[in-house]
Structure 1
Amino acid sequence: MTIAAAAYPLDWFDSFDAFETKVARWVAEAAGKGAQVMVFPEYGAMELASLGGAAVAGDLEGALSEVARHQPAADAVFARLAAEYGVYILAPSGPVFTGNRPVNRASFFGPNGPIGHQDKQIMTRFEREEWDVIPGADGLAVFDTPLGRFGVVICYDSEFPLLSRALAEAGVEILLAPSTTETHAGFTRVRVGSMARALENQCVVVHAPLVGEAAWCVGVEENTGRASIYGPPDRDWPATGIIAEGEMNVPGWVYATVSRDQIAQTRADGVVLNLTHWPEQSERIHSATRVISAS
């Protein structure tokens, strides 16, 4: 399958039609290049805060509520585009209120309509301490499609191996890792985490970040990253583990064609067998935790 990862900038909109025009252009471009799966970044939906005006977009609670208010209409746009082009789309994540506080939700759409959603599981410090965004209560989702099994690890989630391990054990072959990071260091944390998840689960990881400045939108004023697609550095894969990557902070799609058969072959008979050998760790933890004092 051909996968497209977006390095996506936030734009100001004076109307919802302008937002729809933008995302339709992005999807049409990727579809024109043969992409069957498209991944947009974490908090890409925050550009919808502009529809409330400058005061709303510059106020944290106002921005979160404004974006959540438009989320059903945005979902309808992505559902329509997925059906129109016969593709699978992980839409930009954004706040969705399931109670008093929002979750950070990314929804997945296919040619036949909405498939489901994944809420972020582990909150970063700014989400906990400033935004008061809460973890999703539904746990991890496995999206079983004709193209393969997909899982989603939103930004910080990609830095915790047991989440991706649970998805791999459930048969996931491709992990989608949308992200938002202000600094190069933040981007690197997600990049290193995503590459490690590709290594230890012998799978493909698709990293789609926000990029560029949006001084008008509280919380996502500066965004750093490059779109990338990673695999295990094993036989018949790139030695670096980087299948494709874009330029730093340059908006646009990055494409790669990957094979489920190749993933299966690597898991069954790779130079190393990280997925299979994972359980051996637990057998050796006790011997690794002895304390030996030096005189």
Structure 2
Amino acid sequence: MTFRKTLTVASAQYPIGEPKSLFEWQDKVAEWVADGANSGAELLLFPEYAAMEQAAIHGIEVASDLRRSLAAVAEMAGERVAFHAALAKEHGVHILVGSGPVIGSDERYLNAAQLVTPDGNIGEQTKLMMTPFERDWGISSGGPARVFETSLGRVGIVICYDSEFPLIARSMAAAGAELLLVPSCTEFVSGYHRVRTGALARALENQIACVTSPTIGDAPWSPAVDRNNGAAGIFVPSEHGVSDSGALAEGGLNSPGWVSATIDFEGLRRLRSAGEMRNFTDWALQPGAEDNGSSAEVISLI
């Protein structure tokens, strides 16, 4: 297992656009990745359902129809991930690809995010907890919960609503994850605050870092991502000498750009035995803890 002392991450406040062609979309993403890499970050995070802007490539008849847009974006999943993998290699960074629909083995739609490494390795996490609107769309719950062994350390991915459920994150922390990536897509500011609160809570409970990345802006042409509100954040336990508020960095609401910070993993590890509180260690002392002690599956991307 890799133990990093520090890691600089950059999280996108990503505006949903309306690309007219695949090349226009590729140019946009390539520019974003270059800007994120130039910040000095080793890991770049894009949001949940960022992939849905690709529906616009197919014209308004497809983009404005929910079923057809889901099918079109799902069909492009392999090409989309390969494009990000090439950018990861070019810039020497890890990238969490903006999530989108994929077709599962039983022909159901799943919401999946892929973590790509500079060496070309790819790990995929599907969303576990479906929101009411995703159920209406016909998106199904995926799984299992996974933790990815990388040269940056062990990384878990909790997609939006998943961050609001403590046992998912706990299973990843129990499997050694020291960083949770939280891509999100929330229509209202209230949804943004739910995800932010979840990320802060998961960081506190497990004494790890959580990074959120939202879609932002309006896309009236899309029934899937028509309205988006949020801000990116890099969160750790609120602890004296670490962060009084629990926020290492946060962006302005609905302002496009990257939010970056350097995470002190060594300092976070010390909290578990020498912090003001010992939440990770003391988890087992709470009533009922014996019923929720499972660990996520570990997948190597090295």
Q: What TM-score do the two structures reach when normalised by structure 2?
A: 0.91
What does 1:32-43 correspond to in 2, within 5 Å?
32-43=38-49
8 A contact 2:283–2:289 mirrored in 1: no
3-state SS, counterpart of residue 282 of structure 1: coil
- 2:229 corresponds to which letter in structure 1? T
1:158 equivalent to 2:163? Answer yes
What does 1:176-195 correspond to in 2, within 5 Å?
176-195=181-200
1:224 equivalent to 2:229? Answer yes
- Structure 1 residues 11-20 or 53-62, which shifts more? 11-20
Does 1 or 2 have the higher relative contact order (CA < 8 Å, sep 6+)? 2
- 1:119 corresponds to which letter in structure 2? T
Distance in 1, Cα, partners of 2:177 & 2:97: 19
- Partner of residue 97, structure 1: 103
Distance in 1, Cα, partners of 2:78 & 2:176: 30
CA 1:271–1:89 in 2, change beyond 3 Å: closer, same or farther? same
1:235 offset after TM fit, Å?
2.9
- Partner of residue 173, structure 1: 178
Distance in 1, Cα, partners of 2:115 & 2:156: 10
Distance in 2, Cα, partners of 1:283 & 1:77: 45
Superposed CA RMSD in Å reads 1.2
Q: What TM-score do the two structures reach when normalised by structure 1?
A: 0.94
1:132 equivalent to 2:144? Answer no
Distance in 2, Cα, partners of 1:48 & 1:274: 42
3-state SS, counterpart of residue 125 of structure 2: strand
Q: Which has the larger radius of gyration?
A: 1
Distance in 1, Cα, partners of 2:74 & 2:197: 31
Structure 1 residue ranges (4+ consecutive) displaced by more than 2 angstroms after TM superposition: 282-285
Percent pairwise identity: 45
Q: 1:56 aligns with which of 36, 51, 62?
A: 62
CA 1:267–1:50 in 2, change beyond 3 Å: closer, same or farther? same
- Partner of residue 4, structure 2: none
| Structure 2 residue ranges without an equivalent (≥5) | 1-6, 291-302
- Partner of residue 202, structure 2: 197
Q: 2:130 aligns with which of 117, 123, 126?
A: 123
What does 1:257-272 correspond to in 2, within 5 Å?
257-272=262-277
Q: 1:47 aligns with which of 30, 50, 53?
A: 53
1:265 offset after TM fit, Å?
1.2
Deviations 1:124-149 (A, max 9, x none): 01001x2110011x401111112111
1:100 offset after TM fit, Å?
2.9
8 A contact 1:235–1:266 mirrored in 2: no
